[in-house]
Homo-oligomer: A and B are copies of this chain.
């Protein structure tokens, strides 16, 4: 029966993840989550006490999945260009599997900016100092064109994440259907790093 309990907790968290990520905290309904989990509302409250707490469980889990993935590559010992390649490829592949994740996190952080502050202090929050130093060094060595580490970092994240967050808009403007847009996203696994490296590499 403990197995059953764990099953329910997992089923709820999974259903909640789906609904919250698609509709956001304010748009989600406990009834809908219960339906998706195949149980009733009372049980939701039995396991997670309140909508707010269930939401936080989902959000923290989402952040715990996505944040270390950011940090790991950036803090590795790879040369700069390899690091950029590995990061963009890995991240785009990952988000193709979890397309709602970035939009969800961004939207909820925009709703509760003070919530964002707290995250910064968590242990799994990505630290990019090493990456910033590496960029500075590469500029000094004349390996890449002069650029502020923060600007380059923002560019990398923007090129990687935005095509998912802004998918409906971009789909409309490029006039691509779903399949064609997914192809475009998939191509970006290599195209994004090519684009970035072309932008910064020092011509000989």
Contact = CB atoms under 8 A, between A and B. Distances in A.
B125 A150 contact: no
Interface string A168-204: 1111111110000000100110011001101110010
A169 B106 contact: yes
Contacts of A166: 106, 157-158, 161-162, 165
Contacts of A57: none
B196 A174 contact: no
Given A158-B158, A200-B198, A27 B111 contact: yes
A90 interface: no
Interface stretch (A2-10, A39-47, A112-120): A112-120
A51 B125 CA distance: 38
A94 B70 CA distance: 30
Interface in A122-168: 125-126, 128, 145, 147-148, 150-151, 153-155, 157-159, 161-163, 165-168
Interface of A: 23-27, 70, 103, 105-107, 109-111, 113, 116-117, 119-120, 125-126, 128, 145, 147-148, 150-151, 153-155, 157-159, 161-163, 165-176, 184, 187-188, 191-192, 195-196, 198-200, 203
Given A105-B169, A151-B195, 6 more contacts: A107-B107, A145-B198, A155-B159, A157-B166, A162-B166, A198-B200
21 contacts: A23-B26, A24-B24, A109-B168, A110-B168, A116-B168, A125-B172, A148-B184, A151-B188, A151-B195, A154-B162, A154-B163, A154-B174, A157-B166, A158-B161, A158-B162, A162-B166, A165-B166, A196-B199, A198-B198, A198-B200, A203-B203
